[in-house]
A and B are shown apart, each in its own frame.
Chain A
């Protein structure tokens, strides 16, 4: 009697699905690392109150924060190419789709983290910057050498939470046809009429992945905390 679940299919699907994991890693690595750098710049500009640019960033952040990631990705995939074609006359149709995922996710990471950074940078007492400036440091140097290292320490829990949430939100990319683990699960489901095993594997992978991500965080946090104590 054929069944809805079989271990045989579970085991045969496992390697197929795991082979798509590099796609997820790639998305997370690229978007998070570029996003963090952009976020620092955005936060810095907003705190420095640079006119016009500041308003544009505020608008950008509010768009990224108030619309679903899925919508942003679809806008990036269907809208951005039209803009590129209009202004640069470049045919983007043969670009790999993952580029549009990068655009959408990087913008999202940058917007969210810029708000995190803005908060923590403002949380550093102004006296720190003033002291640095009075020692003869330039504005940028006092920011990168004095304020940022302290700010990152406070921002870390939020940054890490966002990283884990980013890993999970990569599960949306199949919507524009990138074959990540969910995309592959659907493909297998269509070819074999059995999806249950694949989706169980997907769930397990995300759980394991998120749990594993907690270990480096604990390590880094312990390191930073220890340093704090010594400094006192």
Chain B
């Protein structure tokens, strides 16, 4: 019995050793050529990253990175899709090299990840309420109200911080849902009064929801300057080379107007005005 186990272990070691050599050789070969960069994005976040009718990945994120890719001959971008909450995990697990899902900078995130310096979209977070309501127009009006936000986004973080400055009876009641909860739930709950307000940083959302669900909603002003979104690509710490290359390409795209063209095409409005 012992002999068999010994032989098995020995055989395994030999095989793994051989495999290592074989694969190491293979890896060296590919390194000399164009480096493949895997981009982690989402697929249920229209119009930024989603699948079209044919199951093809499209959206603003993809259009921007494709344009960047064209300027960088040393890299080739490939796209992998994840649940929003999992992209940063995938980045850390080396599954992907760039995270692209409308990430905003926060101090906590910057502790663990490397952020690009050139933002590629700017937008304000709007408060969205029912058309029939006129009592909410700014952040202070939300005190004591119930709002819906998504896990892990800037608004949630901001409102949690804001709540700590308020007395107990004035605190905003946050109902935090995962980002993959269907839109219907949001609309149905704001319609029946469960939520007093929801938020979006994409003005096209409100138009779309109104078209789909019967002209219910309106934008009631910006939430706060602190939640104005500047979105960046996210990299692993230590990946400066890639970051600098993408930053430079983005700068070029912004200056020659390509970025605003992409924005007009993919989003329906120019979201790069405040970037310059």
> How far, in angstroms, from A1 to B90 measured CA to CA in the complex?
42
- Choice from A4, A78, A88, A196 contacting B89 with Cβ under 8 Å: A78
| A4-B188, A191-B51, A195-B184 known; A93+B95 contact, CB < 8 A | yes
Question: Is A93's CB under 8 angstroms from B83's CB?
Answer: no
Contact digits for B37-48, partner A, Cβ 8 Å, 1 yes 0 no: 010000111100
Question: Is A196's CB under 8 angstroms from B81's CB?
Answer: no
Q: Scan residues 27-81 of chain A and give those whose CB is less than 8 A from a CB of chain B.
A: 50, 52, 77-79, 81
Question: Is B46's CB under 8 angstroms from A190's CB?
Answer: yes
A231 within 8 A of B: no
A91 within 8 A of B: yes
| A93-B38, A195-B183 known; A81+B95 contact, CB < 8 A | yes
Main SS class of interface, A: helix
Instruction: Please name 7 further chain A to chain B contacts, defined as beta carbons within 8 Å, in addition to the given A50-B1, A177-B86, A193-B184, sorted by A numbering.
Output: A88-B20, A177-B83, A186-B43, A187-B51, A189-B183, A191-B46, A195-B183
Question: Is A186's CB under 8 angstroms from B180's CB?
Answer: yes
Contact digits for B177-194, partner A, Cβ 8 Å, 1 yes 0 no: 000101110001000000
Question: For A94, what are the chain B residues with a Cβ–Cβ distance below 8 Å?
Answer: 36, 38, 78
A225 within 8 A of B: no
A176 within 8 A of B: yes
| A82-B94, A196-B184 known; A2+B213 contact, CB < 8 A | yes
| A177-B82, A187-B51, A189-B182 known; A194+B24 contact, CB < 8 A | no
User: Looking across the interface, which residue of chain B has its beta carbon closest to that of A19?
Assistant: B55
Contact sample, A vs B, 6 pairs, CB 8 Å cutoff? A85-B94, A87-B20, A88-B20, A88-B23, A187-B55, A193-B208
> How far, in angstroms, from A111 to B212 measured CA to CA in the complex?
47
B73 within 8 A of A: no
Q: Scan residues 207-249 of chain B and give those whose CB is less than 8 A from a CB of chain A.
A: 208-209, 211-214
> How far, in angstroms, from A32 to B183 measured CA to CA in the complex?
36
Question: For B46, what are the chain A residues with a Cβ–Cβ distance below 8 Å?
Answer: 190-191
Residue among B19, B44, B188 with the highest chain A CB neighbour number at 10 A: B44
B93 within 8 A of A: yes
A166 within 8 A of B: no
- Choice from A2, A87, A88, A186 contacting B214 with Cβ under 8 Å: A2
User: Looking across the interface, which residue of chain A has its beta carbon closest to that of B92?
Assistant: A78
Q: Scan residues 165-186 of chain A and give those whose CB is less than 8 A from a CB of chain B.
A: 175-177, 179, 183, 186
User: Looking across the interface, which residue of chain B has its beta carbon closest to that of A196?
Assistant: B184
Question: Is A179's CB under 8 angstroms from B55's CB?
Answer: yes
- Shortest CB distance B39–A (Å): 11
Contact digits for B6-19, partner A, Cβ 8 Å, 1 yes 0 no: 00000000001001
B160 within 8 A of A: no
- Shortest CB distance B185–A (Å): 9
B50 within 8 A of A: yes
Q: Scan residues 93-110 of chain B and give those whose CB is less than 8 A from a CB of chain A.
A: 93-96
Question: For A196, what are the chain B residues with a Cβ–Cβ distance below 8 Å?
Answer: 182, 184
| A78-B93, A189-B182, A196-B182 known; A175+B83 contact, CB < 8 A | yes
Residue among A89, A90, A191, A194 with the highest chain B CB neighbour number at 10 A: A191
> How far, in angstroms, from A12 to B181 measured CA to CA in the complex?
22
User: Looking across the interface, which residue of chain B has its beta carbon closest to that of A82?
Assistant: B93
| A82-B93, A193-B209, A194-B212 known; A89+B27 contact, CB < 8 A | yes
Question: Is B23's CB under 8 angstroms from A177's CB?
Answer: no
| A186-B44, A191-B51 known; A88+B19 contact, CB < 8 A | yes
> How far, in angstroms, from A77 to B209 measured CA to CA in the complex?
35
Question: Is A177's CB under 8 angstroms from B81's CB?
Answer: yes
Question: Is A191's CB under 8 angstroms from B52's CB?
Answer: yes
Question: Is B95's CB under 8 angstroms from A78's CB?
Answer: yes
Question: For A90, what are the chain B residues with a Cβ–Cβ distance below 8 Å?
Answer: 19, 23
User: Looking across the interface, which residue of chain B has its beta carbon closest to that of A97?
Assistant: B80
- Shortest CB distance A185–B (Å): 9
- Choice from B23, B24, B55, B211 contacting A2 with Cβ under 8 Å: B211
